[in-house]
Structure 1
Amino acid sequence: MSLRVAVIGAGPAGIYASDLLIRNEEHDIYVDLFEQMPAPFGLIRYGVAPDHPRIKGIVKSLHNVLDKPRLRLLGNITVGEDITIDELQDYYDAIVISTGAVRDRPLTIPGGEHSIGAGEFVGFYDGNPRFERDWDLSARQVAVIGVGNVGLDIARILAKTGDELLVTEIPDNVYSSLSKNQAEEVHMFGRRGPAQAKFTPKELKELDLSDTINVVVSPEDIDYDEQSTAARRSDKSLDLNCQVLEQYAIREPKDAPHTLHIHFFEEPVEVLVDGESIVGLRTERQEYDGTGAVVGTGEFTDWPVQAVYHAIGYRSEPVEGVPFDHERNVIPSDRGKVDAGLYVTGWIKRGPVGLIGNTKSDAKETTDLLIDDALAGKLSPRKYDDPSAIVDLLESREIPYTTWEGWYRLDDAERRAGEGCEILGRERKKIVEWEEMVEHARGVPVVS
């Protein structure tokens, strides 16, 4: 049986799902991978801090999938605007939605509307063309709410110098802002203890590799209840986290221009403002309640900060023409099946939790359901059999779509831009303007 499947979203979830489909031995499956951005890779390109070189290994594996002949990339297309879900059903036997989550959950405490979502700052320093080009980094004292890897990335970027990051792929506008960074103290806040922090040990330990960052943890914050101790015994990664934090708590301070404080048992309760300016963050001290949870002690502290970032989770956005759960910010499904012929995978399916391993297993669960429906004859056959029919439709609408061949052109342009820098060994410099990305990808001369 021959199947044509549309996968919407060319981040890791969409690429893993595409790979599973085209490698399926029971069906002859071809996949068209639709992407809103002019370039693929999703949060691997636009959601990971630029000083994480090991991400290159993930990009390489995703790149190998996109090189496969049964997979076709169609970028710079917004499904729901340029083409609808109903229209796609005429060209494909099934649709898999993997649009991820890039927007921030709101910080719902008094004054929280004055804080900055992690996704906004990450979008800026990763050169995402949908986000700001310039960033005000004049605050000398900064708060970061949330003790996960995203919060850690933000705190680390704020505590590094622009020159340290110049060897990465950051574009010129990002370097220009980071070079003016005035932050001297960065405070991270978590409402629970060290055993509940969502760091990964490698990221936590790597903080100390920078000569510009002095990491400080208060010995008073190194506390575990019975449940926390049991969790450490059963989870090697969590135990390593706690060991690193304990070492930070007992060592002598390092001489460095930026200090990164990691605070536990402090729940943010209010962003303090004077007019439109942030002047502080109020937290309430927490303690274990004997059940593994924490409760407030009634002891409040006002921390003098001039900027507050919150890294408390991303949220997905609806796709036009598809049901959406606005409470959970996901497309509701049964293990990934919305209806016969319509499926979801990744964060749009389960929410913004889990790592790459979870994304792979999630994609398999979804694609297995799709294959089962195909075997059972539950899929409605497509109206158009010619693979070029969808391209004809896009061209008739004058949509400047990009392709995998176009990615090679854009990739080459970014690498050449990196080679032209004074910093030796710089692999690439990201192109940040949307239209310029499209022009490079489509082979159109770029006017400088």
Structure 2
Amino acid sequence: MQQVTVVGAGVVGLCTAYFLQHSGYSVLLMDANPPAEGCSKGNAGHFATEQVFPLADPSLLRQLPALLLQANSPLKIRASYLLKSLPWFCRFIGNMAAAKQQALQAALSQLNGPSMASWQKLATLCQSQDLFCHHGALLVSEHSNQLNLQQQYQRYRAAGIDVSLRDQAETQTLEPLLANNICGSLDFTEVAHTVDPWLLCQRIFAAFKAAGGQWLQSKLLTIQSGSPLQLSTSSSIFNTEQLVICAGAHSAALTAQLGWRIPLEAERGYHLMAQAVGLSRPVSSLERKFIMTPMQSGLRLAGTAEFSGLDAAPDFHRAHMLLQHARSLLSTAIEPTKPASVWYGNRPSLPDSLPVLGPCPAHAGVHYNFGHQHLGLTQAAYSAELICQSLHGNLPQGKLAPYRIDRFGPYRHQKKQA
């Protein structure tokens, strides 16, 4: 039985480890932290298969000055990090050309389209159907002029997304607790959410171990290419025949050891848990760029994007401002849980909004599955299936071409480890 080591125990790594173990590999899953302690614990819980548009939207250029100056803006770049983040944003802007937008949208659609089927398969295998709600999701607008909402509706329809345009009365019929200042919404009927992202990950981890998977809580320090690959951790040195890097925002340091310099940024998001108010589905705001998701433990308010570096101290004002946004969208009183529960995590973000998927072009036995940005939960199960099929040699040629690591530049020789 061939051995595979999966590095990273977030939702992407957990799904990858499970599908590989289930398909006949002997899998070792490793992480410096317990399973699902990063973004997989605190995400919005929304399987956002409708989000097929790259984030590098040309309209952002007009909005950027206002976004950076507003106190409660959904986007923040810390002054101390501005210069360091400029190369990433230059690449980001470079993806705004129409031809690139079209290609990136096609690549995102290729991942999002089959994602819910993969999750339904995994939920059945892991006996986790009870953690899924298939009530759809709403994108609401507060502006009395519905032109922007109508334009978004046409855009989604043109992309093949199943969506309906709802007026104010129809929106409030769907979610009676929404405030009167909401003029309409987009109703996405083919999406879902989980009532507990962390528990979902724990179920996958338990199923992985029950299937014979092995777990090592240790930090991967170095990778030495060869046959077999040699891994050095904080607790041991061992060999593996195959390696899959699923380390989220920490993946760039590992790929650099293998000769790849990639523009991976830690795009920080926050959440605040509020007491349940009775929403039945995720509700996101077109203007405020945040989402409210009903969960078992209350209403999760999540969102925002902050560029401050991987190890910067959190700014929990970013979490508390989500409560102000929620109060503007709801007709009922909303209070934080007692004690107040706030969280932050680092999304692994690449400037073209696509993950890195597939085999390493330079080192046999190395594979990549990271960089899913805002769609880590959404794409985790299907990305894992793709990696599994790739290792088995069952993927059509070119299937993973849009997600290759060498799209960011050529290979540089691996540095020898000390």
TM range (shorter): 0.3 to 0.5
**Structure with bigger RCO (C-alpha 8 Å, 6+ apart):** 2
Tell me which protein shows more strand as a share of its residues.
2
**Which structure's CA Rg is the greater one?**
1
